Structures are given as structure tokens and as C-alpha cells.
């Protein structure tokens, strides 16, 4: 969830809580205010009735509806307000709320109990209408304030999102500097300045690392090539004993493995540093067919049965050189580690390419190490000393470079290793 969405969520939650509490508070306040005014009216009517009792007889003050009701009593009582319901004779005896006040007054030495009733439903209706109006207005104001707050937050955070957008386009292998948007907000300006300085430092470090890797690889290749040529020259000598020849052959093989290791590490470093930027639409069907044809002599030498199911025109956008490295490493791994589970089971490799995925399956014994270490560097089968332990690490690095999910499964019943690379839809 984005920061703006989270801010809007908090604002809405806070506004809802405030609106709920405010609505209840407004309704209670309005209801109590109107009730207080009704009680004031009842008190005024009691006072008026008491004034009339001083000059008029009791029989004249009694109305036809017995409101106010005046009685002679012997004991005094404090003013008492009560809420009661009485049937409405004008409306099919529907019960209506009544606010009632009972109070004793002393007139000319006599004690009278005055009971005055006031219908309350009209005041309740007025209270509800005022409450609804006030609450609706309050909610509208709250909603408007939240909308304005979200809009202002979106405008204030616009430079931040623009900076994030610029960061996603930063490439350390190019000389172009990212252009961060100008902002009047001090924190965003400080962030942009810090990011510019950090990008410059990273670019310098990347350039030094790239230069070191290239120079080291080049400088290593030259003496390795010289040493290999000298060993080849010695191997052609007629004065070598069989023991000398064996020692020179082992030295030649070691130099070849060292040269191959140097090239693999350099390629792995280049992939990690994202130095293969020229992506294009690669026909994986054609490229896989070419790679499989190139490995046909190895298939025949190992007596492998190769089954192909390659769909035509499977296009994937990536660097062509990395696509070839990806396929050749998977094929090399399948050839090197293929073998039947027993003597009667034939060794086979299956190549399946669809628009959704590439699957390469080969028969072979289970891994001699945990599966989670399969794509780590220099992890290899001890029974295969000729392996560098970098091929599958390169495959994984290339898949991560292009966000291609890579999975490995071993079927113990069929003795099959299966590598699957899913393509984006």
C-alpha cells in the first residue's frame, strides 16, 4: 500500500470516528437543549397559573382538558419533571409523548399542586430534523475536509513519487545523470541532493569495479594463453617420457579449467552489474534448435536419447548473448549429469518449449547435496571434477536479471531432474 493510500486510509478512519462521536454528541446536545426549553415553558406556565390563583377562583382556571390541573394538597413537593405517554383522542388514540411538571405553590395560606402537561412529539420531530440537518452538514464538511486533505497530500508528495520514478531509470553503466524534480520542501530537496551524491559514488565504484574485472580478466588470459601454448609446445617434444607427458597433460587441463573459470566469473560479474543492456526480441525456438544441434555430437557421444518438443515462434525480449548462455548452460548441465537410474534404464533428455515456459529434463541420480544449494556458486557434484560449479549460478543470475521464475524438481520414481523457466504472459 502506498504512502498516499495509507494517509487517506488514516484520514478516513479518523474522520469516521470523529463523525460518529460528533453525530451522537450533536444529537444529544440538540435534544437536551430543546428539552431544557420545554421545561422552561412549563415553569413559566406554572408561574402564570400561580399568579392567576391569587385573583381568580379555582373553578375558573380549570380547562376542559384539565391542563393545567390544580389540586388542594396538604404536603409540599419539589418541582418534578416526568416523561409520560397518553392516548391522542384526535388520532385514533395513538400514544404521544408528554412532558409533565408537577409543583406545589402556596397561595393565601393554601397549598396547591399544579400539574401542567406539554405534548412533546412536535419538539421531538423538531429535534430530529435539526439533528439530521446538522449531522448531514457535519458529515459533508468532514468528507470535504478529507478530500481536500488527500488532494493536498497527493500534491505535496508528487516530488517524492517523481524522484522514485527517476530512481527506477538510473543505470550505473551509463554516463547520464538522473534529473530529480525541484521542490520547495526542504526534506525533498535534501533527499534529492543525497540521492545525487549517492548515485555519483555508486557510479564511480561501479566503474572501478568494472575496470578491475575487465583488466584482471584480460591480464589473466594473456599469461594463461602463453602458458598453454608453451605446454602444447612441450607436449610435441619427442624427448618426453610417458611420466613427463602425463604431468604436462594434467598441467594443460588445469590451465584450461583456470581459463574457463576466469571467463565464467567475468561473465557472471558482467551479468550482476547489468552490463548487457541491449535487449532485443529473441526467437527462443530458433536459438534452442541451434544450441541443440550444436550439442548433437555430445548427445551421441554419451548415447543420450534426445526428445524435442519446440513450439515455433516463441519470442522473448532479452539480450541475445545472455539467451545463448542460458540455453547452453542448461544443455551442458543436462549432458554432463545425465544417466539412468539403473543399467536397464536409458539415458534421455527432453527439451520442451512453449509460449509459457522452457523445460529441460534429464535422467540422473539424485543430488549429493541439498536442493537449495543447487544454484549457489561452486556447488558441484564431487563425482564430476570437470565441472566449474558456475553454470547454474549463471542461469539463475540471468533469470533474475529478466524476472523469469526458475524452478527445479526431481522425480525420484522416474529418476529425472527437471528445470523449468516460466515466461511472462
Strand, helix or coil for residue 220:
helix
**Gap between the Cα atoms of 117 and 119, Å rounded:** 7
* Radius of gyration of the chain measured on its C-alpha atoms: 46
Per-residue pLDDT of the chain (425 residues; tens, 9 = 90+): 566 677 777 777 887 888 788 778 878 888 888 888 888 888 998 888 888 887 777 666 565 567 788 888 888 888 888 888 877 666 677 787 888 888 888 888 888 888 888 887 777 777 778 778 877 887 888 788 878 887 887 788 788 888 888 777 777 666 667 777 777 888 888 888 888 888 888 878 777 777 776 666 666 677 777 777 777 777 777 777 888 778 777 787 777 777 777 676 776 666 666 666 678 899 999 999 999 998 888 888 888 889 999 999 999 998 888 888 899 989 988 888 886 444 445 688 999 999 999 999 999 888 878 887 888 877 777 666 666 677 788 889 889 888 899 999 998 888 889 999 999 87
CB 95 within 8 A of CB 31: no
Specify the pairing of strand 110-119 against strand 94-107. antiparallel
Specify the pairing of strand 80-88 against strand 94-107. antiparallel
Number of neighbours of residue 264 by Cβ within 10 angstroms: 19
Specify burial of residue 70 (Cβ count, 10 A radius: 0-12, 13-18, 19+).
buried
Number of neighbours of residue 183 by Cβ within 10 angstroms: 18
Assigned C-alpha cell, 26: 450533536
- What phi, psi does 78 have (nearest 5°)? -75, 155
Amino acid at each position: 500500500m502506498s504512502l498516499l493510500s495509507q494517509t487517506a486510509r488514516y484520514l478516513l478512519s479518523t474522520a469516521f470516528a470523529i463523525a460518529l462521536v460528533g453525530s451522537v454528541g450533536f444529537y444529544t446536545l440538540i435534544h437536551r437543549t430543546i428539552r431544557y426549553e420545554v421545561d422552561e415553558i412549563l415553569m413559566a406556565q406554572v408561574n402564570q397559573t400561580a399568579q392567576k390563583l391569587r385573583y381568580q377562583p379555582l373553578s375558573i382556571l380549570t380547562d376542559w382538558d384539565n391542563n393545567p390541573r390544580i389540586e388542594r394538597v396538604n404536603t409540599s413537593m419539589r418541582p418534578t419533571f416526568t416523561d409520560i405517554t397518553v392516548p391522542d383522542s384526535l388520532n385514533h388514540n395513538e400514544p404521544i409523548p408528554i412532558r409533565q411538571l408537577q409543583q406545589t405553590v402556596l397561595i393565601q395560606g393554601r397549598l396547591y399542586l399544579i400539574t401542567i402537561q406539554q405534548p412533546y412529539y412536535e419538539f421531538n420531530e423538531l429535534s430530529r430534523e435539526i439533528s439530521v440537518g446538522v449531522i448531514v452538514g457535519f458529515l459533508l464538511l468532514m468528507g470535504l475536509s478529507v478530500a481536500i486533505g488527500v488532494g493536498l497530500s497527493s500534491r505535496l508528495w508528487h516530488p517524492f513519487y517523481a524522484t522514485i520514478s527517476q530512481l527506477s531509470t538510473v543505470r550505473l553503466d551509463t554516463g547520464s545523470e538522473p534529473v530529480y524534480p525541484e521542490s520547495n520542501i526542504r526534506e525533498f530537496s535534501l533527499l534529492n541532493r543525497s540521492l545525487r551524491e549517492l548515485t555519483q559514488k555508486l557510479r564511480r565504484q561501479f566503474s572501478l569495479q568494472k575496470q578491475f574485472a575487465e583488466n584482471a580478466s584480460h591480464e589473466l588470459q594473456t599469461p594463461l594463453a602463453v602458458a598453454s601454448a608453451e605446454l602444447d609446445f612441450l607436449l610435441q617434444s619427442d624427448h618426453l617420457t610417458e611420466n613427463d607427458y602425463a604431468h604436462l597433460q594434467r598441467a594443460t587441463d588445469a590451465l584450461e579449467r583456470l581459463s574457463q573459470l576466469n571467463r565464467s566469473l567475468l561473465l557472471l560479474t558482467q551479468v550482476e552489474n547489468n552490463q548487457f543492456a541491449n535487449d532485443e526480441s529473441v526467437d527462443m525456438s530458433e536459438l534452442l534448435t541451434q544450441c541443440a544441434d550444436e550439442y548433437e555430437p555430445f548427445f551421441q557421444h554419451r548415447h543420450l536419447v534426445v526428445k524435442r518438443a519446440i513450439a515455433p515462434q516463441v519470442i522473448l525480449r532479452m539480450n541475445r548473448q545472455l539467451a545463448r548462455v542460458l540455453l547452453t548452460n542448461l544443455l551442458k548441465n543436462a549432458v554432463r549429469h545425465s544417466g539412468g537410474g539403473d543399467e536397464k534404464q536409458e539415458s534421455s533428455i527432453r527439451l520442451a518449449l512453449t509460449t509459457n515456459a522452457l523445460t529441460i529434463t534429464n535422467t540422473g541420480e539424485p543430488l549429493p547435496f541439498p536442493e537449495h544449494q543447487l544454484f549457489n556458486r561452486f556447488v558441484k557434484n564431487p563425482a564430476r571434477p570437470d565441472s566449474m560449479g558456475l553454470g547454474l549460478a549463471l542461469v539463475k543470475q540471468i533469470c533474475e536479471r529478466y524476472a523469469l521464475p526458475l524452478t527445479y524438481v526431481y522425480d525420484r520414481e522416474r529418476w529425472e531432474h527437471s528445470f523449468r523457466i516460466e515466461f511472462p504472459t
